[in-house]
A and B are shown apart, each in its own frame.
Chain A
Amino acid sequence: MKQFIAVAGAVVLLSSSASAQGRDSVERGTRMDTDALRDDVRTNRLQIPRHPLAVEQPVQLAPDPEAKAKPKKAKSSKAKSKQSGGSSQ
């Protein structure tokens, strides 16, 4: 009976120490997660510089309304001038 109690006690002690080790890893991981979140708050405010090896992005130019409108306006003004019978020259 005494032997049984001793063996059972040893098993309990071993299992509890193993689980305690596991829990300690959980504790340490939790602490580093907290630090990581604090780090994120600070690093999110930093500006990442333009990488020297970054591929140059093709610049998409916005359509210039005047570029198309001007010839048409010129045409329309000419038409108007023709209609009126006048000339700029």
Chain B
Amino acid sequence: MRGSRALLQVLGVFCASGALAAELDLTELKAPQFVPTTPSWSVVGSVSPTYTENALFSRDNRRRDVFYEPDVSLRLDGSLTPDLSYRIFARTQYEAFATENLGNAAIARLGARLTQNLYGWRFTAQYENRYDFDGIYRDLAFTSNDVSGSVGRDFQFGNVILSPLALLTYRFSDLPEARRWRFDAILGIEAKLDQRWSIVSTPFIEAFWFTDGLNAGREDQIYSVSLGLKYNIASNISLTTNVIYEARTSNVPLRHYTDVQIGPRLDFAF
């Protein structure tokens, strides 16, 4: 008898919970549908005066100079799914030297990219149509089509943010000497001192395998590291004063060089 009472109580509990479950509307259990956001425009860029020890990145003919370098992008960002976003962009950049005018150059780029977030990593495929100019948009030197893939993510350990990025690019170009594979491994390091000040560093390895023209067979490696102090003027404007050391090795000895660059850089996003 006691056993049957206990059984009835247990059944009662299950029946009651079953009744509650039946009251739930099935629409409440459906996952919320993704609504694609309206694409947003932004202007992002950097401007800097920089001192360089080796304006013409030459092994033997080292010339000190100061150059001005703006780098501005117009971007259209949107998302296709919660984890898949796209960007269409136009970007331009030039270097204007104070005295070594032979070093003046400019680039204009148009491109698009898709970024997939997967397990916290960002996988990006990018296409870029670019125009390289001699002088400040003076003479078109060559045009290229860059196809690249990259993977990166941010790690935060207390006040330190690490942003590793690996990038592989092939450049198709109307100038055979410009065609090449390029691999980049870059680690952005930021150690926050307080809300406005940070110490930043960017160790960077670049490897190039030129495939055509007079550069066929040439292999370069560039190793660089920067150390700087960053001041956040606002959440979308920062000023970073950097020292960069850069060294290139190559299987073409003439292409070896070292360089030190020092300068403030103003970064902005609107």
Residues of A near any B CB (own CB < 8 A): 19, 21-39, 41-49, 51, 54-55, 57-58, 60, 62-63, 65, 68-69, 72-73, 76
Contact = CB atoms under 8 A, between A and B. Distances in A.
A55 B105 CA distance: 38
10 tightest Cβ-Cβ pairs between the two chains A and B: A25-B141, A28-B105, A41-B188, A46-B269, A47-B235, A39-B46, A29-B132, A48-B269, A48-B42, A26-B178
Nearest to B131: A29
B177 A23 contact: yes
A35 B267 CA distance: 13
Interface string B53-73: 000010000000000010100
A54 to B, nearest CB: 6
B184 A43 contact: no
A24 B56 CA distance: 9
Interface SS of chain A: helix, strand, loop or mixed? helix
A43 B41 CA distance: 15
Contact of B28 (A36, A55, A65): A65
A69 B23 contact: yes
Nearest to B269: A46
Contacts, number: 143
Interface in B159-197: 161, 163, 165, 167, 175, 177-178, 182, 184, 186, 188, 190
Given A34-B204, A43-B45, A43-B268, 19 more contacts: A25-B105, A25-B141, A26-B177, A29-B141, A32-B69, A32-B107, A37-B204, A38-B186, A42-B238, A43-B269, A45-B161, A45-B188, A47-B236, A48-B44, A49-B236, A63-B27, A65-B28, A69-B23, A76-B23
Interface range, B side: 35 or more
Nearest to A31: B57
A26 B175 contact: yes
A32 B93 contact: yes
A60 B38 CA distance: 14
22 contacts: A22-B141, A22-B142, A24-B102, A27-B57, A29-B132, A32-B107, A34-B206, A36-B71, A37-B186, A38-B204, A39-B265, A42-B265, A43-B267, A45-B190, A46-B236, A48-B44, A54-B40, A57-B35, A60-B33, A63-B28, A68-B25, A73-B23
A35 B69 contact: yes
A47 B269 contact: yes
Contacts of A73: 23
A50 to B, nearest CB: 9
